Amino acid sequence: MRAIPDPVQNLIDAFSHLPGIGPKTASRLAFHLLKAPEALSLELAEALEGLKSGTSHCQQCYNITLAGEDICDICASSNRSDETICVVEEPLDVIAIERTGVYQGKYHVLMGVLSPIEGIGPDQIKIFPLLERLKQEPVKEVIIATNPSMEGDATALYLQQRIQPLGIKVSRLARGLPVGGDIEYADQNTLQRALAYRQTMD
Amino acid sequence: MRAIPDPVQNLIDAFSHLPGIGPKTASRLAFHLLKAPEALSLELAEALEGLKSGTSHCQQCYNITLAGEDICDICASSNRSDETICVVEEPLDVIAIERTGVYQGKYHVLMGVLSPIEGIGPDQIKIFPLLERLKQEPVKEVIIATNPSMEGDATALYLQQRIQPLGIKVSRLARGLPVGGDIEYADQNTLQRALAYRQTMD
């Protein structure tokens, strides 16, 4: 007895392949779309089909840009300083930093992070294109904004060792307590860092 | 400065229209698909396009069935008893009950629930087709499996008043403590029901 017809099961399976969507959520989404106007499904289908064909990577910073554009808006902008490059792991990190509204420099997206366990070395991510940029652009500071994880820290260290000899300042995002966080619930590592890098009040 | 290109933003917007998916999850899904092979996006797009065109409603019980099939597998099956109809709100509820593996009768999907506040009366859901079925099929018992909510209870009461005069037994799913639940954390209503409908051990 087949309780779920194939077209519905296919959609449940396709949703289940997405990160963070388990079989129950996938069913709920599929049955929601069954009840909703067909336009909702078709809008999502169209957006999915246009995703890869409509986008490419900026040839300078490797952020996502429109297909057919060599250089992204941020790289092309004359309002953004050429003297600072913020190095991130993923395009999503650019969006998070842009949302703060306080950063006025350029970016470089590594498209990953060093991870010897997964066999990802400097050749597999966009580290050499970054070093190439540093030779050609008037960069005074590289802000490393990799994730505060083991791989992110290892990547930051590697970058520091390659960039500092070029006479360029290397900095990284501050570690400490998250805003709105609670000392009582902060993990041991975060609290150790917050103590070690305590900031003078003046 | 547009940090997210339109093709990506379109997909984020489309995902955000789904229930339980907020802007952050939608971004995460879109950027995951950007990194993943294009086949993943296209598989999902195809499933979405085939959803409505590939399905229809069973003309007997209103459960989801394959397009072109008047009657669903369960209604058509000779292995399922005609003497019991289980009345549910949504097709998803059929799947939940089928998953138990213990129900061998037929179903009737109301496609909603009575809700005077939202202006949904007996005409807006599949109540009259159910009453029609009861005249024509050899039904001995109707099991009402609407949700244990205010609207579900009101719908159950309405159905009972319409069905009992036909000389057909009306029952509803048991209320009580969920299996694996903890008395300490059970809400007051559930505990009241569990006491009132306590079951004799023999």
Closest CB from A48, A79, A99 relative to B45:
A48
At residue A57, φ and ψ (nearest 5 deg) are -105, 140
Minimum Cα–Cα distance from A58: chain B residue? B5
Question: Looking at the whole model, is its pTM more than 0.90?
Answer: no
Please choose, from the candidates B15, B119, B128, B71, the residue with its C-alpha nearest in 3D space to the C-alpha of residue A45: B15
Q: Each residue's pLDDT tens digit in chain B (202 positions)?
A: 567 889 999 999 999 999 999 999 999 999 999 989 999 999 999 999 999 999 999 999 999 999 989 999 999 999 999 999 999 999 999 988 998 889 999 999 999 999 999 999 999 999 999 999 999 999 999 999 999 889 999 999 999 999 999 999 999 888 888 888 787 888 888 888 888 888 777 7
Model-level ipTM above the cut of 0.90? no
Residue in the structure block whose two tokens are 């079951």: B199
**In this predicted model, what pLDDT tens digit does every residue of A38-53 receive, in sequence order?**
999 999 999 999 999 9
Cβ contact B28–A92 (<8 Å): yes
Q: How crowded is the C-beta side of B185, counted as CA atoms within 13 Å? A: 5
At residue B39, φ and ψ (nearest 5 deg) are -55, -35
Whole-angstrom distance, CA of residue B85 vs CA of residue B129: 13
Cβ contact A46–B50 (<8 Å): no
**Chain B neighbors of A25, CB-CB under 8 A:** 20
Cβ contact A14–B41 (<8 Å): no
Whether B101 contacts B80, CB under 8 Å: no
pLDDT confidence of residue B165? 94
pLDDT confidence of residue B12? 94
Q: How far is CA B101 from CA A3, B96, B104, B105, in A?
A: 11, 10, 8, 11
Closest CB from A51, A79, A98 relative to B41:
A51
Cβ contact A51–B8 (<8 Å): yes
At residue B93, φ and ψ (nearest 5 deg) are -70, -35
Q: Which domains does chain A have, with CATH numbers?
A: 6-53 (1.10.8.420), 76-200 (3.40.1360.10)
A20 CB near a chain B CB, below 8 Å? yes
Please count the other Cβ atoms lying within 10 Å of the Cβ belonging to residue A152. Answer: 21
**In this predicted model, what pLDDT tens digit does every residue of B181-191 receive, in sequence order?**
787 888 888 88
Cβ contact A3–B74 (<8 Å): yes
Mean pLDDT calculated for residue range A173-189? 82
DSSP state of A89: S
